Amino acid sequence: MKTSVNWLRNYIDIPWAPKELAARLTAAGLEVEGIEFTGQIPAGVIVAEILARSPHANSDHLSICTVNAGQGEPLQIVCGAPNCDAGQKVPLATVGTQFGDFQIKKAKIRGVESSGMLCSARELGLSDDHSGLMILPPDTPLGIPLTDIVEQDAVIDWEVTPNRPDWLSHVGIAREIAAVAQLPLRLPAPAIRSLPNSSVHDCAKVSVLDSDLCPRYIARVFKNIKVGPSPDWMVKHLEAVGLRAVNNVVDITNYVMLEFGQPLHAFDLTTLAGSEIVVRRAKQGEEITTLDGTKLKLSTDNLLIADRDKGVALAGIMGGENSMITDATTTVLLEAAAFDRSNVRVSSRTLGIATDSSYRFERGVSPETTAAASARAATLLCELCGADQVDGIIDCYGKPWQCPEITLRVQRCNALLGLSLDATAIASCLERRGLSILMQDAETITARAPAWRFDLHAEHDLIEEVAQISGLDAIPEAPVAARISGTMKDDRFLPLEEIRGEFQALGLDEIINYSLWSLPQCLQGTACSEEEIIKVDNPISIDTAFLRPTLLPGLMQVVAHNIAHNEHNLRLFELGRVFRKNNGRHSEGLQAAIAITGKRHPERFGSDLAATVDFYDLKGILASWLEARRLTDCSWQSAEAPACKPGACATLTSKGKTIATFGEAATVLTKGIRLRAPLFLALIDVDALLKLKAAPPVYTPIAQFPATSRDISFVAPAGLTHQTIVATIRDLQLPLVDRIDLFDIFSDEKVLGKDRCSLSYSVTFRHQERTLTDDEVNALQTTIRSALAEKLGVELR
């Protein structure tokens, strides 16, 4: 919010320079984004008069001007401006004037001596106009510094928080200055000229059909309007904060909006069918063309200001092209209204229109401010446009605003702020912020919030007011008090951090996505129906209108993004919340998702580099994870799932509960993604997994004696599994067997025969208390070889 310091001085005598003003209000909670000084003209720029103008002999666009600076002999100055005509009074930068790093000096320009520079408004930093010299009024005295006649100003850009819409106005900032400086506030008094023997009800009619979206609507009618340019003081104030002057009627509505924070709109009454205003929801598909020429198609979510036949304005956002003020306008209906902030926000986002008006209504405009702003605009219309107000106003105010009453405890206030204020000092702070004290004693204070404050509801809000008025810098520093927290079992965040650490230890990279997606993204790859997807009541856009039922939308988006950027070796995981609606009730849970694709060993060479990940790589990741968590009561089963290809999907279950579903990604998910290798996905029900009971940890001391190993090779049927072989060896319950490793598989039909393969195992033996002898190890190996031959029928080699 930009405010002009000169404009603010209309309401309060500011006791500080702009920079100190910014510092003091920052200490009270109103931060500053920047300060811009205008009218800061360098010393040495004076008023001069052009006595004569002649063409430059060596240039077709330069002129030689004889200038009277009011100080001695006339000066000769070379000028390139098209309007350096004799008789004009203009700014002159005399020799020695400093413009930043540039100093005006006597110089020869194409052979002609020049003793100074005639200036445009842009060269002086007064405006962007560089079309010619800045022309001064004819009665301006010669030789005086330009700073004597050009008003200097400072424009402060305030960082307004969403809970303080009252700061989006000059009066609101002036109230803040008055509170901090303890000075009186001057608000302009209404001075409205009314037409005798007239009634507004004979000229116009207003109907508010949706009062929940428009709690107050005030209409005034003015006749004898003379549309024309605004006075200089208003133009300067508007331009100082970045608004362009249009005409006096439109400028008044903009001026009052910036003055009181209340957006207004002026309709040409003769263009309103039936001289009627109807505040209603738009019909589905109804169209309106706004002031900027944009044609919009509306829905029933949009509030419309209409006449008897058509829409004439989009409530709280922008007026319609069909009722705009023109030079021929003589009768005006002035609208001042309060609109529901949520409805304005939704309409602004869905229609893609953001204006100064919608910015204020989205944050909240008090219905009480509406009346004050309407009266102020009426005064200015009478004063600047020669208008006469038709007697009376139409005020549709079905449910008047009720200011909340809040009780504050003195002891609680001091305990939170670390101060020692008594009830009188606290009450003074509240009164300076505009609150009315209803009851006060040594222990409690009851106050009523002012009508322009929407953010005061509870005791802590009043304590914040006391802190800001006392000065945030006055709050003492306090050491942090350490408190004994709960046990590790009570920490709900720790199990999630453990899962993240375990996934990262397995070589996966974490991703984080938003929870809001479009409906097609939420449904893709799931068995959910549209009724099970939760829709947000007030979405920012249609692409973020639904809560995700799984982590798939974000996971697939990240995969597609990486593949598009030529990153094909991916090991990703995400841990987050998912949402679903069951029988009308909303539920949420924790889910983990894994995606892997690309090379199995991108760090290797040769044939190893060509191998890509497959189904069993993902199964191995899950199995390693379960082993790390000591979850042994789990089983693997083939299955079918919408997110996986048929025949390439499995589930991990425990006691009949599905813990994870994994497999190769279905074609519907990978369509449009230029994968170089298959993509494998896993979705894990973290809530169900955390309920599983882990096996107790088993301590195994570090061995102090060396191990020894023996290799066993044999030819086996191709259908014999590694798990069966390992189980057979384990069933022997040999106490010294430490590890069993498969290190070679060979199959060749010509060498070994059909459906046969050669397997080679390394069995490691170790004793915890002594070194094993060769005889002991050889005996154990013989036992294992015999068991494999007898129980599995393998051919030992």
Map out the domains of the chain as residue ranges.
2-39+153-181, 45-148, 194-396, 408-473, 494-690, 708-796
Q: What is the pLDDT of residue 307?
A: 92
Distance CA 357, CA 253 (A): 11
The series of mean pLDDT values per 10 residues for the chain, 797 residues long, is 90 91 87 82 89 90 91 89 91 88 88 90 79 89 86 86 89 92 91 90 92 93 92 88 89 94 92 92 91 89 92 90 88 93 89 89 90 94 93 91 91 90 92 92 93 88 90 80 74 89 94 91 85 84 87 94 94 94 86 94 84 92 92 88 92 90 93 92 93 86 89 90 92 91 88 88 92 92 93 89
Residues 6+ apart with CB under 8 A from 187: 11, 171, 372
Between β-strands 570-582 and 509-510, what pairing exists: parallel, antiparallel or unpaired? parallel
Q: How many CB atoms lie within 10 A of CB 68?
A: 18
d(CA 784, CA 650): 34
d(CA 289, CA 113): 59
* The domains spanning 2-39+153-181 and 408-473 adopt the same CATH topology: yes
**What's this model's pTM, rounded to 2 decimal places?**
0.63
Q: Which fold has domain 408-473?
A: Phenylalanyl-tRNA Synthetase; Chain B, domain 1 (3.30.56)
- CA–CA distance, 667 with 672 (Å, rounded to integer): 9
Q: Distances from the Cα of 533 to the Cαs of 89, 94, 583, in angstroms?
A: 73, 74, 11
12: Cβ–Cβ under 8 A, 6 or more apart, which residues? 174, 177, 178, 181, 183, 184, 185, 186
Q: Give me the residues paired with residue 220 across strands.
A: 334
Query: Residue 587 to residues 592, 640, 708, 717: CA-CA distances in angstroms?
Result: 17, 25, 56, 51
May I ask the CATH architecture of the domain 2-39+153-181? 2-Layer Sandwich (3.30)
Tell me, which fold does domain 494-690 have in CATH?
A: BirA Bifunctional Protein; domain 2 (3.30.930)
Count how many Cα atoms sit within 13 Å of the Cα of residue 437 in the half-sphere of its side chain. 17
Considering the domain delimited by 194-396, tell me its CATH architecture. Answer: 3-Layer(bba) Sandwich (3.50)
Query: Got the DSSP string for 409-459?
Result: EHHHHHHHHT----HHHHHHHHHHTTPEEEEE-SSEEEEE--TT-SS--SH
Cα dihedral 359, 362, 364, 368, rounded to 10, equals 70
Contact 377, 252 (CB under 8 A): yes
Tell me how crowded residue 357 is: count the other CB atoms within 10 A of its CB. 26
Tell me whether residue 666 is exposed, middle or buried, using C-beta atoms within 10 angstroms of its C-beta: 0 to 12, 13 to 18, 19 or more.
buried
Neighbour tally for 17: CB within 10 Å: 11
Share of the chain above pLDDT 70, in %: 100
Rounded to whole angstroms, the Cα distance separating 442 from 422 reads 7
Residue-level pLDDT at 372:
93
Q: Please name the amino acid found at residue 460.
A: H
Length of the chain: 797
Q: Which fold would CATH assign to domain 708-796?
A: Alpha-Beta Plaits (3.30.70)
How far is it, in rounded angstroms, from Cα 407 to Cα 440?
10
605: Cβ contacts below 8 Å, ≥ 6 apart:
none
Amino acid identity at 682: A
Q: Which residues of 245-275 are buried (b: 16+ CB within 10 A; e: fewer)?
A: bebbbbbbbbbbbbbbbbbbbbbbbebbeeb
Place of tokens 């362009």: 244
Binding residues: 455, 461, 464-465
pLDDT at 634: 87
Name 15's Cβ contacts closer than 8 Å, sequence gap at least 6.
181, 183
Q: Specify the pLDDT at position 476.
A: 85
Give the residue numbers of the binding site for Mg(2+).
455, 461, 464-465
How far apart CA 390 and CA 384 sit, in angstroms, is 17
How many angstroms separate the CA atoms of 168 and 564, rounded?
45
Q: May I ask the CATH architecture of the domain 45-148?
A: Beta Barrel (2.40)
pLDDT at 278: 93
Strand arrangement of the beta sheet that strand 737-746 belongs to: 737-746, 756-765, 708-717, 795-796
